């Protein structure tokens, strides 16, 4: 039971489903995102049918950027 005037916070992850969404959310271009991938950013890259597909969780990626100075 929560005391009066206390709030419970729930977090719903925001999934960025492709390279375009990642770029728009982070305010960068595709080359920067590809650089981040090479630096170990928490961006999933799958290679289906010879095409790279990107996805990331927004808060985790932003935290990585802060920690890495990106």
Q: What is the pTM of this model?
A: 0.82
Both structure tokens of 49: 């049918």
> Sign (positive/negative) of CA torsion 15, 10, 41, 62?
positive
Domain boundaries in the chain? 15-68
pLDDT score for 25: 97
Count the residues in the chain. Answer: 70
> In CATH, which of 1.10.3470, 2.30.30, 2.60.40, 1.10.10 is domain 15-68?
1.10.10
Helix %, strand %, coil % of the chain (to 5):
40, 20, 40
CA distances from 14 to 3, 5, 27, 30, 62 (A): 30, 28, 16, 19, 11
pLDDT attached to residue 8: 86
The whole-number pLDDT of residue 4 equals 74
**pLDDT means per 10 residues in the chain (70 residues)?**
75 94 98 98 92 96 97
């Amino acid at each position: 039971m929560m005391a009066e005037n206390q709030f419970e916070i729930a977090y719903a992850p925001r999934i960025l489903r492709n390279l375009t969404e990642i770029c728009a959310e982070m305010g960068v271009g595709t080359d920067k995102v590809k650089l981040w991938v090479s630096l170990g950013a928490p961006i999933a890259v799958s290679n289906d049918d010879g095409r790279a597909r990107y996805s990331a969780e927004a808060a985790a990626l932003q935290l990585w950027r802060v920690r890495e100075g990106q």
